[in-house]
Structure 1
Amino acid sequence: MHELFKPNDLHWADIASNTEGIELLGYQRYGTVQGPRIGKERINGSILKDNDPFINKHAAVSRAKSAASAQQPLSFEHKFNLDRQMLAHEEDWPEEDTTVDIESIGEPQLKRLPPLLWLELTALFDRYSLPFQKRKSPKKKRKEEGSVFGVSLETLVRKDMILWEETWSCAPSVVRALAAALRQRTRDEGLLRVPGNKQKIEALCQLIERQWYSDRGTVEAALARASSHDLGAVFKRLLRALPTPPLTQELMRLFYHTYALSGTTQGRALNLLVLLLPAEQRATLRELLRLVREIVARQDTNKMTEHNVAMIIAPTLFPPSLLIKQSDSLETQLATAANSCHVTEALMRWCDQLWLVPASLLAAAGRKPPPHRRNHHT
């Protein structure tokens, strides 16, 4: 599945370049990836109203994309670059007075926030006619047989609290340790992209699995000695081995469908979704996005641009096995991969604002509910 995220340099004119023994009887174009089509009322599969400002904003871009796509091959890069024209950069956050981080909110307000967040998110998705597929969490949880790999974030955090009384972070200690080790190596070229040494990666994974909760110091010393590429491979394996995706079964598809939005509208939707994540998933996502932002900041030396990093971590946030069916056409699979990368880039771009509670919702959560009136029967 991860092959979908690789560029395709094969041009349609290169096929059957050796014509010996070949007679051309006819031809037709096959498999050109079209960008999101904006006609009278449809964009990226979503129905929009005729007077919706979203149509007017992007109609010109869509016409240019459609003309360009007519001469282009079927490839992930082509699909990604067409859709990227819709992204609006350097926009201001919708609510300037939004400055309160969700981690600093008291328990009473925190409990009153989810219904308000769901209401706001539902209204936003309804406005742009996006699919609102809220999946229920599986009732039967997968048995966790390992010590670290394949263990849920909630279990890892619970172990940290029991063994070391680490209550100040909801991101597992092993995730924080790997991220910290990688931060020391952000100048290394190809970080997260170069695969590393297979034997050393396997040995490091086994060491973490066996000794993280019994001899943490020894493991941390091994992390300090390991190469950046081996560490990157271990970090990706740990996140991909989670029994549920980092964005959760319930919310992952809602995150994915924000690809149809752009600019601050997309940022606001992602903000609401991040605030709805359980504390462990939200803290782990924060750790991941902070790391990749630091990597991208050193792209002049490590050659890892925002696009390169997004292609690598998108399958972690949006596992292809949960989004793509075997029966899907190649065009659909490529579009899904490109859309996942777009959302991943948006998460990276809005990283500083994703954890802030909208001021209007914070004010509403701070209001005390009216006293419950009882009907007295005489």
Structure 2
Amino acid sequence: MDVLKNNCESIRILASRELNKHGINLKLKNLPRKKISVKRTCYGVAIRNLDMVDMILGKNKITIPKIFYNLCTFIGSDMNVEGIFRIEGSKIKQKNTIKYIDKQCRIPDDISIIEAGAVLKAFIRNLPDALIHQDYERWFVEAAKLPEDHIVEALLLAVFLLPLEHIYLLMYFMQFFQEITTHSSTNKMDLHNMAIVISPNIFEQTNKVSAETSSIRCDITKIMMQHAKEIGCVPEKIIQKLDDFDTLQAQKKCRFFW
């Protein structure tokens, strides 16, 4: 049984309660869904509206956008390229590649690894709803400020507050980016360097980002890459509470209808 998929909202509430125990007492909000009027196929399209593909990631069956899967698969064909994800390449070529993908719904044959990395970042950065929306970033930031021995647990719990499609994509991306860093002897992209170039793309884009905020975002991204295979894995203590929680919620609904 897919525990996360079948119990997403219950896990979300229970995870917020576990974070409350860590002293993170923020209001749990619903993610504002932006309405996009411009008709596009890929670029600037919400995750839930993209062409999706099912895949197995470890022991998990997840669903992610096909365009991200194809770009990562291509980049993964040669992870030893120096400056991968750090070097931007030609802005004109990047713009033309995005237009091509939007029109053809596939990656052009003449794209390079460097260009693919730049285009992937652009796609992530321009999602209408950021992977980690600003309403949820506060939970991640507060988790990162906890005593060192609680940070990892709290950040992994904070992931469950996100919409399911965002959780799946974070699971996939963090494992993929972590794999890139295992080739750092040749591509020069260790965990720290990768976190620096990736973190601005997964958080909400704002006009002014302070040095402190940038540093915290970088630290959060680095920790998530370090613990990539744990992202999306529902803790046993939450699984044990699911039946009682769902029963209680059902009873509340019954009392409401009566």
Q: What TM-score comes out, normalization by structure 2 length?
A: 0.84
Q: Look up the equivalent residue of 1:197 and give its one-letter code.
A: S
* 1:265 pairs with one of 137, 146, 150: 150
SS at match of 2:153: helix
Which shifted more, 115-124 or 175-184? 115-124
Q: Look up the equivalent residue of 1:170 and give its one-letter code.
A: T
Alignment check: 8 A CA contact 1:135 1:249 kept: no
- 1:304 — aligned with what? 189
- 1:369 — aligned with what? 247
Note if 1:282 corresponds to 2:176: no
The offset of 1:244, in angstroms, is 1.3
The offset of 1:276, in angstroms, is 2.5
Note if 1:235 corresponds to 2:120: yes
Q: Identity rate of aligned residues, in percent?
A: 23
Alignment check: 8 A CA contact 1:256 1:318 kept: no
Distance in 2, matches of 1:255 and 1:362, equals 22
- 1:154 — aligned with what? 48
When the two chains are superposed, the root-mean-square deviation of aligned CA atoms in Å is: 2.8
Instruction: State the structure with more CA Rg.
Output: 1
- 2:206 — aligned with what? 321
- 1:357 — aligned with what? 234
The offset of 1:180, in angstroms, is 0.9
Aligned pair in 2 of structure 1 residues 135, 361: CA closer, same or farther (>3 Å)?
Answer: closer
Larger helix fraction of residues: 2
SS at match of 1:231: helix
The offset of 1:194, in angstroms, is 1.0
Aligned pair in 2 of structure 1 residues 140, 335: CA closer, same or farther (>3 Å)?
Answer: closer
The offset of 1:134, in angstroms, is 4.6
Deviations 1:186-227 (A, max 9, x none): 100010001112332222111100010xxxxxx34x25x421
Note if 1:202 corresponds to 2:80: no
Alignment of 1:76-225 (within 5 A): 104-105=2-3, 109-124=7-22, 126=23, 130=24, 132=26, 134-138=28-32, 141-156=35-50, 159-160=51-52, 169-212=62-105, 219-220=106-107, 222=108, 225=110
Aligned pair in 2 of structure 1 residues 184, 244: CA closer, same or farther (>3 Å)?
Answer: same
Q: Look up the equivalent residue of 1:120 and give its one-letter code.
A: E
Aligned pair in 2 of structure 1 residues 262, 172: CA closer, same or farther (>3 Å)?
Answer: farther
- 2:136 — aligned with what? 251
Aligned pair in 2 of structure 1 residues 364, 177: CA closer, same or farther (>3 Å)?
Answer: same
Deviations 1:88-138 (A, max 9, x none): xxxxxxxxxxxxxxx8327654453222112112221x2xxx573655533
Alignment check: 8 A CA contact 1:310 1:345 kept: yes
Q: What TM-score comes out, normalization by structure 1 length?
A: 0.59
Deviations 1:309-350 (A, max 9, x none): 1110111122451774xxxxxxxx111111111111111111
Distance in 1, matches of 2:147 and 2:113, equals 34
Q: Look up the equivalent residue of 1:304 and give its one-letter code.
A: M
Q: Look up the equivalent residue of 2:117 and give its one-letter code.
A: G
Deviations 1:28-85 (A, max 9, x none): xxxxxxxxxxxxxxxxxxxxxxxxxxxxxxxxxxxxxxxxxxxxxxxxxxxxxxxxxx
Alignment check: 8 A CA contact 2:16 2:28 kept: no
Distance in 2, matches of 1:114 and 1:274, equals 9
Alignment check: 8 A CA contact 2:34 2:129 kept: no
Which shifted more, 110-119 or 177-186? 110-119
SS at match of 1:146: coil
SS at match of 1:276: coil
The offset of 1:308, in angstroms, is 0.7
Unaligned runs of 5+ in 2: 56-60
Aligned pair in 2 of structure 1 residues 191, 262: CA closer, same or farther (>3 Å)?
Answer: farther
Distance in 1, matches of 2:183 and 2:220, equals 22
Aligned pair in 2 of structure 1 residues 174, 187: CA closer, same or farther (>3 Å)?
Answer: same
